[in-house]
Structure 1
Amino acid sequence: MSVFGLGIELDGEGSHPASWRRANHPPSESLSGRTLLARVRAAENAGFTLATFDDSIVPPRGDVRARVDAVNRASFVAAATSTIGLVPVVETTYAEPFHTASQLATLDYASRGRGGWIAARARDAAIARAWGRPAVRADDLDREQRDSVTVVRALWDSWEDDAVIRDYATGRFLDRDKLHYVDFEGESFSVKGPAIVPRPPQGQLVVFGTGADQPLVDVVLVVESEREAAVAAAQRSPGLAFVEVSVALDLAGVTAAERLAELDRHHPAQTPSRLQYVGPPGGLVDLLDDLARHADGVRLFPAVIDEDLPVLARYVLPALFRSGVAHRPVPGSSLRDNLGLARPSNRHARTP
Structure 2
Amino acid sequence: MSTTAESDDHPGLFLALELDGRDHSSRVLRDSVAAAEVAGFTLVTFTENPGDTLDAGTRAAFVSSSTNTIGLAPTVHTLTTEPFFLATQLASMDHTSHGRGAWVVGADNSAAAHEAVGSVVRKPDSIRQEIRDVIDVSRRLWDSWEDDAVIRDAASGRYLDPDKVHHVRFEGEFFDIVGPLITPRPPQGQLVVVGDVALGVTDLLDVAVVGDVDQIDDARTDGAPLVFLDVDADVNVAPVVDIVDGLLFRPTGAEALRRLLDGTVPKLADAGLLRAPTVGRTLRENLGLPRPVSRYAAAKENN
Q: TM-score, normalised by structure 2?
A: 0.90
- The equivalent residue for 1:186 is 172
Q: Could you tell me whether the CA contact under 8 Å between 1:243 and 1:297 is conserved in 2?
A: yes
3-state SS, counterpart of residue 113 of structure 1? coil
Deviation of 1:111 after TM superposition, in Å, equals 0.7
1:43 aligns with 2:36: yes
Q: Could you tell me whether the CA contact under 8 Å between 2:80 and 2:117 is conserved in 1?
A: yes
Deviation of 1:169 after TM superposition, in Å, equals 2.8
- The equivalent residue for 2:6 is none
- Provide Cα deviations, 1:321-350, integer angstroms capped at 9, x if missing partner: 222222221001111111110111111114
Which runs of 5 or more structure 2 residues have no equivalent in the other structure?
1-9
Deviation of 1:167 after TM superposition, in Å, equals 1.6
Deviation of 1:55 after TM superposition, in Å, equals 2.3
Deviation of 1:317 after TM superposition, in Å, equals 1.4
Q: Could you tell me whether the CA contact under 8 Å between 1:53 and 1:87 is conserved in 2?
A: yes
- The equivalent residue for 1:292 is 241
Instruction: Name the stretch that deviates more: 133-142 or 150-159.
Output: 133-142
- The equivalent residue for 1:258 is none
2:262 aligned to which of 314, 320, 330: 314
1:348 aligned to which of 287, 296, 303: 296
Deviation of 1:122 after TM superposition, in Å, equals 1.6
Q: Could you tell me whether the CA contact under 8 Å between 2:231 and 2:247 is conserved in 1?
A: yes
Alignment-mate amino acid for residue 208 of structure 1: V
Alignment-mate amino acid for residue 219 of structure 1: V
Relative to 1, partners in 2 of residues 1:66 and 1:55: Cα closer, same or farther, differing over 3 Å?
closer
Instruction: Name the stretch that deviates more: 85-94 or 209-218.
Output: 209-218
Quick check: which has more Rg, 1 or 2? 1
- Provide Cα deviations, 1:56-81, integer angstroms capped at 9, x if missing partner: 6xx1xxxxx43411111000000100
Relative to 1, partners in 2 of residues 1:140 and 1:106: Cα closer, same or farther, differing over 3 Å?
same
1:135 aligned to which of 121, 124, 127: 121
Alignment-mate amino acid for residue 32 of structure 1: S
Q: Could you tell me whether the CA contact under 8 Å between 2:71 and 2:102 is conserved in 1?
A: yes
Which runs of 5 or more structure 1 residues have no equivalent in the other structure?
14-29, 60-64, 250-283
Alignment-mate amino acid for residue 27 of structure 2: R
Identity %: 44
Deviation of 1:232 after TM superposition, in Å, equals 4.5
Equivalences for residues 76-87 of structure 1 within 5 A: 76-87=62-73
Q: Could you tell me whether the CA contact under 8 Å between 1:220 and 1:237 is conserved in 2?
A: no
Alignment-mate amino acid for residue 351 of structure 1: E
- The equivalent residue for 2:15 is 6
Deviating above 6 A after TM superposition, structure 1's stretches of 4 or more consecutive aligned residues are: none
Relative to 1, partners in 2 of residues 1:318 and 1:182: Cα closer, same or farther, differing over 3 Å?
same
**Count of residue pairs brought into register by the alignment:** 288
- Provide Cα deviations, 1:13-72, integer angstroms capped at 9, x if missing partner: 4xxxxxxxxxxxxxxxx342112101111111111111000026xx1xxxxx43411111
Deviation of 1:210 after TM superposition, in Å, equals 2.6
Q: TM-score, normalised by structure 1?
A: 0.78
Deviation of 1:125 after TM superposition, in Å, equals 2.2
- The equivalent residue for 2:211 is 223
